[in-house]
Structure 1
C-alpha cells in the first residue's frame, strides 16, 4: 500500500519533533557553545594574524566536534550525509589552519568561502526539508547568512584581511548557534 506524500511528510515532521525534543538539552548546549565560539571569533581578530588563524582552526575543529555529537542522534534524517560532509569540511579546514598557521591568507579565504557556502547550502536544504516544522525559518536564515558571508568574502578576496575572516566566521557561528538554540528552546517549551 502506498502512502501519500502528505502522510509521509507528517510522519517525518513528527519524527523530527520527537528527536529534537528528546535531545533538546544537547541542541541547546551546542547552540550556546557555538554562539560563544562566534563571539570569540569576532573579538580575537584584533591580535596577530597567526593567533587568529590558530584560533579559527580550533573554533572550526571544536564546532565540528559539537555538530558531530548532535548529528549522531540524527542518523536517519534526510540529508544526513550533506550535513556530515559539511561538518567534515569544517574540521578539515580547522586542521589545515592548525597544521600551518603561516599559510597564505588567500588560501584561508578560499577555504572559508567553500566552508561558508557548503554550510549555508546544507542548512537551506535542511530547512526546506523540515519546512512545516515550527520555527524552521531560523534554520533557513542561518543558511542564507552562510551563503551571504561566502559571497561577501569572495567579493573582497584580493584584499581580504585577517580581521574580516574572524568577523565573518564569528557571524556564521553565531547565526548557526542561534538557530539551533532557538529551535531547541521552542521545541522544549512546547
Structure 2
C-alpha cells in the first residue's frame, strides 16, 4: 500500500519536474547567449554564499568559545567572510581568481583521471575514464592558454552547460514520471 501511495505522489509530481526542466533549459540558453553576465552572476552568487557561510562560522565560533579550536574556527569564518566580501565588491577580480581555480581543478582532475584510467586498464571501459581525463586536461589547458581573457566567459559557459544538462535530466525524469500515469 505504501508503494502505491508513493507511486501516486510521484506521478503527480511530473509537472514540477517539467517546470524545473523548462526553467533550467531557459537559464542555460541565456547563460550561453551572454556568458559574461552569467559569469558575473556566478561570481556574485559565490561571493554571497561565502559571505553568508563566513558570518555563520563566526557566530558558531563564538557559541563554542571555551573550545580549544575557537581561534581556528573564528579565523576560518573571518577568512571565508573576507573572500565573500571580496567577490561581492570586486567581482571582476573574483572572476579571474575563480577561473584560474577552475583551470587548476580541471588539470588536477585530468591527471587523477589518467592515473585512475591506467590502474583500471584490465577492466572493460577504462578507455572512457582515459578520455574523460584527456578532456579535463584539455579544458584546463584551453582555459590557461586564453587566461586572463577566459575569465569573462568560462564560468558562464560552464554554468550554461550545467543548467542545460540539468534541464535535460529534469525533462527525462518528468517524461518518465508522466508515463507512470498511463
TM range (shorter): 0.3 to 0.5
- Bigger Rg, structure 1 or 2: 2
Which has the higher relative contact order, 1 or 2, with Cα contacts under 8 A spaced 6 or more apart? 2
TM-score with structure 1 setting the length: 0.43
